[in-house]
Amino acid sequence: MILVTDDLSASDSCRWNLQEPTPRNVARLLRRLDARHHTVVALRADEDKQLIIRGGAGQFVICARDGASRLFDLIGASSAQASTATVNVGGTREVLPSDRILDAQTALTCALTYLYTAERDPRFNWRQS
């Protein structure tokens, strides 16, 4: 398993950093996501299988790749307040359905499950995209 994170430089280019994939490092890197300069943590089991957590500052979007063309989005409870929300990922603002915006605890739970099993957490609702 490889743990990859992004750091945006002043020129808005991505610099990928490989880290040791321990539970402590996963939690530390997820806490570092700030939706401005640090916006992506990816756990890669192999080239075609990975869990990607994007966003930060309490709003996360989680997706999983299970093969070359199988992508899944983690879906949470819909917010009654808004039908869409904006998340900054890699310097780009994305407007997404509010049911795709998840909290920090959900992001950590999914990341740790993936770290240990290299599978999507079956306790959550995943929708193929």
How do the pLDDT tens digits run along the chain, 129 residues long? Answer: 888 887 664 445 556 677 788 999 999 999 999 888 888 899 999 889 999 999 998 999 999 999 888 999 999 876 556 688 888 776 678 888 888 999 999 999 999 999 999 999 999 999 998
Report the candidate in 30, 32, 29 with the shortest Cα–Cα distance to residue 61: 30
Q: Are 44 and 50 in contact (CB under 8 A)?
A: yes
Helix, strand and coil content of the chain, in percent to the nearest 5, comes to: 20, 45, 35
> How would you classify the pairing of strands 59-66 and 92-97?
unpaired
For residue 10, what pLDDT is reported? 44
- Res 83: pLDDT: 86
The pLDDT assigned to 96 comes to: 87
Task: Assess contact for 112 and 124: CB atoms under 8 A.
Answer: no
